[in-house]
């Protein structure tokens, strides 16, 4: 088994696994996940070289953080062997980006994660807050937490790409270390590409999530609440069907598409079973050793051509 590739994350000095462990499913967001399964999944991920774990107090109403904490403890390895990101500002109860809530939030998160510090603390889904508050209040509060050693680095996350330039243009260079973008670097939408030179010039590390477009590029299809247009859903379904008819897995192809760009430090994928971990790691190792199935990829790109980059404008506001 080839070792999982590690990539540098901006100017942080961190080296993150090309595939990152998305822990939202551990909060039983997509269906129930037993604690034993969660721990086994994380153990397998770590064994296969995944060292980067991403969560939020919003996922499963704090359950994801608790599960992740238990899983990390069960690894019984030095704290420096893994990298943990959590978030603040978005909760089951709603949004609160105030300095006071952020301070309370990190203490609660650390307790649930059973950690003394996180490596990255993100402001979560900032398009739902006031971006000026993020700049003038939230990020300064995070800088304070960084000085106190509760987080090593600071990040921002959200769906619309212009939120990143808005914030980064208004804070001193080096204030924000990382951005987490989702649904904008996959086969059906690669608009994050246009932003990469800008992010690089700012010295900001890039993490991309949802390579499967929150279920659009999977055989079971998206959840009921998925915000994509009918046109986008049906094109993705056609692409899935096409791959299936050729005996190919669209999930593997879609993940490889996202992994192929080394400017993106880590691609976060939600995982809640050992078999999912093995499938995701195989996608990376096969990409390194065998390369991508270019023929099927071209066919999928042709099917998705008419709906390329037609992602919905804002994140999902459902509590």
How far, in Å, CA of 290 to CA of 250, rounded? 17
CB 35 within 8 A of CB 70: yes
User: Does residue 57 contact residue 88 with C-beta atoms inside 8 Å?
Assistant: yes
Count of positions (residues) in the chain: 319
Crossing angle between the packed helical segments 139-147 and 99-113, to the nearest 10 degrees: 50
* Radius of gyration over every alpha carbon of the chain, rounded to an integer in angstroms: 18
Choice among 59, 182, 185, 257 that is catalytic: 59
Which two structure tokens, joined as six digits, stand for 253? Answer: 């192809």
Helical H runs in the chain? 35-47, 63-75, 99-113, 131-133, 139-147, 162-168, 196-201, 230-245, 250-259, 274-289, 294-304
Is 117 known to be catalytic? no
Which residues lie below 8 Å from residue 13, measured CB to CB, with a gap of 6+? none
Cα–Cα distance measured from residue 265 to residue 206, given in angstroms and rounded to the nearest whole number: 6
Q: What is the 3-state secondary structure (H, E, C) of 186-238?
A: ECCECHHHHHHHHHHHCCCEEEEECCCHHHCCCCCCCCCCCCCCHHHHHHHHH
What is the C-alpha to C-alpha distance for residues 310 and 139, in angstroms, rounded to an integer? Answer: 31
User: Among candidates 125, 316, 283, which has minimal Cα distance to 217?
Assistant: 283
Residues serving a catalytic function are: 59
């Amino acid at each position: 088994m080839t070792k999982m590739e590690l990539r540098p994350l901006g100017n942080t000095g961190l080296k993150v696994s090309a595939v990152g462990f998305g822990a939202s499913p551990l909060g039983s967001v997509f269906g129930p996940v037993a604690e034993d399964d969660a721990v086994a999944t994380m153990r397998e991920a770590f064994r296969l070289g995944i060292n980067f774990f991403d969560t939020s107090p919003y996922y499963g109403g704090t359950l994801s953080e608790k599960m992740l904490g238990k899983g990390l403890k069960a690894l019984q390895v030095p704290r420096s062997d893994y990298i943990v990101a959590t978030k603040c500002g978005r909760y089951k109860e709603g949004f609160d980006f105030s300095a006071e809530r952020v301070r309370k939030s990190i203490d609660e998160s650390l307790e649930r994660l059973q950690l003394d510090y996180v490596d990255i603390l993100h402001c979560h889904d900032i398009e739902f807050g006031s971006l000026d508050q993020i700049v003038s209040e939230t990020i300064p509060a995070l800088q304070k937490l960084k000085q106190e050693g509760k987080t090593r680095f600071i990040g921002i996350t959200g769906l619309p790409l212009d939120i990143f330039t808005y914030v980064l243009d208004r804070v001193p260079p080096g204030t924000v270390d990382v951005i987490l973008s989702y649904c904008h670097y996959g086969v059906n939408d690669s608009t994050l590409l246009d932003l990469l030179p800008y992010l690089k010039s700012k010295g900001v590390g890039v993490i991309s999530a949802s390579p499967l477009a929150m279920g659009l590029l999977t055989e079971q299809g998206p959840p009921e609440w998925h915000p994509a247009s009918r046109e986008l859903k049906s094109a993705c379904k056609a692409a899935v069907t096409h791959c299936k008819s050729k005996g190919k897995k669209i999930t593997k192809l879609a993940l490889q598409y996202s992994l192929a760009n080394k400017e993106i430090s880590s691609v976060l994928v939600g995982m809640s079973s050992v078999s999912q971990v093995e499938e995701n790691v195989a996608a990376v190792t096969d990409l390194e050793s065998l390369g991508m199935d270019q023929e099927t990829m071209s066919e999928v790109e042709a099917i998705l051509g008419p709906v390329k980059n037609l992602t919905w404008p804002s994140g999902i506001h459902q509590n």
